[in-house]
Structures are given as C-alpha cells and as structure tokens.
Amino acid sequence: MKFMEKLSRRRFLKSGLAATAAATVIKNTDSKASGNFEGYPDGMGVLVDLTRCVGCRSCEAACNKEQGLPEPEKPFNDFSVFDELHHGQKRRTDETAYTVVNRFDMPDFDHPIFKKFQCNHCNEPACLTSCFVNAYTKTPEGAVIYNADVCVGCRTCMIACPFYVPTFKYSSAFSPRIMKCIFCYDTRLKLGKAPACVEVCPQEALSFGKRSDCISMGRQRIRQNPGKYVDHIYGEHEVGGTSWMYISSVDFDKVGMDTTLPKEPILNSVKDFLAIVPMVLTIWPALFTGFHLLATLKDKVMEMEMEEKRKEKEGQA
C-alpha cells in the first residue's frame, strides 16, 4: 500500500513537472507568434500632411508613369475629376490608378482639403493574412507587394482590406490580376529611394522616412503648431499600424477616412475561428465514434445475448 502511494506521488510530481515544462515551452512560442507585430524596425513609411496638399495631382501622374499604367481618359491637369461621383462616392483606386487625390469641401474653411490616397502598407496586412496562396509579402522595407504568378483571383484580399485598396483587373479574361500600389518596391524602395509620388510632390505634403521617424515628425508638427492639427496620426495604430500615415487639420471622418477601424490587426478578429480548427480536427473523431458506440450499444448487447442463448441451448443439447 505504502509503495503504491509513493509511486503515485512520484508519478504525480513527474507529470506535474512535465506539464510545467510544456507550459513554459508553449508560452514561449506563444509570445513570439501572438500577433503583436509592430512592423519591421527599419521599415520605411510616408507621412501625408493633408494641410499641405493642394490637389495638383502630380503624384497621380508620377505614379501612372512609374508603374506603366494606361493613360487616363482625362489628363492629369484636368481638375473636373474632383467633381466626379460614382454611386455617390468620390473617386477611388482602380485597375488604371494606384493612387487618387480627392477634394473635400469644408463649410467652415475658406479652402477645401485634398487627400491623396493609396495602399497604406499595413504592418500586419489583412490582404496578406487572408490570402490562401500567399500572393502577398510584407517586405522588411515596409512595402506590401503582390505576386501575380500564384494569384487565383478569388478577391478575398479586396473583401479583407479595411481601406478598399486592392482592385481587380476585371477587363481581362486571360491575364486578370490584382492591381495595387506596391510602394514602388521594384524600382525605388528596394534601392532605398522614395516612391515616385513622394519625390514629385511640389508641396512636400508627403514625407518619406523610417516609419518611426515619420511618427516623431508627425508628433512634432502637431506639437509645434497648436490648434492647426487634429491630435491624431491616422495609421499609427489603425488596424495594427500602417506604413503610410496621415495628419490633418480636420477630423479624419470628414475626409472620407474610416475612424471606426479597430486598433488591432484585422487578423485578430479571425483568430477565434482559427483556434477552433485544431480542436474540431482532434476532438470530433473521438467524440463521434464514441457516439456511434453508444448509439449502437443496444444492438451489440442484443447480439451478445442472442449468442449466449444459442450457446446455452447448444450446451443443453
């Protein structure tokens, strides 16, 4: 009896130790992969200062040339595009334009506000995490790039992107693809150069630099010009932080930016489901086979009883 007790205690200690060890190991890996990624330390970014943009559209033109996009219907010095509405919406990016500038008339101001828009290059991009063929990559330089060679064209990235950035080349039957801003990765960013739109901006509304420096710069401008800016850098924390960020003199929802976006990456709202997948895969087979055994128990018992009776009869005979 004593021996038994000892053994069970030892066993108890042993298993306890093993469990602790396992917990430590699991905890370690957990904290590494828990989705608190705040961007590559040397990732580049751009700070867009809406107070400086005058709506000259030269960034649009530069982007069009740099990326070899088709010539637009209206030339880039035609400002009537600011009045265009599609389904009551202002212009948006599409398969012919990776960036667009929109005008927002402000009743309280004597001048309108212009907003340039393009891919914000999230730290933890929703397009990337939702893609089932890994067509997207977040490069250490900060760009979110796309590989058309593996893309299947399911357009889930377009569903997932909280900024409505990726667009699809619907016009093509044989070589459709996603069209989106890639931070001029191939031609400029990789070589340490600023993207074409930043370089061409005559107002210095766009400032290119390390993402961390862009945040400091934004804070500095807000601090040094009391009353001029809204005290918020859009993109510092939105959906886990983006490489492109904005400062503005008006509330961001007045210039068509979604201020209701969550602070964590989009992926976090999907994790609840992803967590149940391994559980279902491992628990269901045992559970349902168990149900089967229970459900057919009666038949089994009846069969055994019959067998016994048969044997009894044989024995009697």
CB 132 within 8 A of CB 156: yes
- Decide if residue 263 touches another protein (CB under 8 A): no
- Select 168 or 229, whichever has its Cβ closest to another protein: 168
- Decide if residue 292 touches another protein (CB under 8 A): yes
Q: Which two tokens stand for residue 245?
A: 């960020």
Closest CA to 141 of 36, 33, 41, 241: 41
CB of 182 to another protein, least distance (A): 17
Q: Residue 38: CB partners within 8 Å, gap ≥ 6? A: 123, 240, 241
DSSP string covering 185-251: TTTTGGGTPPPHHHHH-TT--EEEEEHHHHHHHHHHHHHHSTTTS-S--BTSSGGG-BSEEEE-SS-
Among 24, 80, 260, 316, binds another protein (CB under 8 A): 260
Among 110, 204, 299, 314, binds another protein (CB under 8 A): 299
Site mask, another protein, residues 264-283, x = CB under 8 A? --x--xx-xxx-xx--xx--
CB of 218 to another protein, least distance (A): 23
Q: What is the DSSP letter of 34?
A: S
CB 38 within 8 A of CB 241: yes
Site mask, another protein, residues 131-160, x = CB under 8 A? xxxxx--------------xxxxxxx-xxx
* SS3 assignment, position 78: coil
Q: Which residues of the chain form contacts with another protein (CB under 8 A)?
A: 87-89, 92-94, 126, 129-135, 150-156, 158-160, 162, 164, 166-173, 176-177, 258, 260-262, 266, 269-270, 272-274, 276-277, 280-281, 284-285, 288-289, 291-292, 295-296, 299
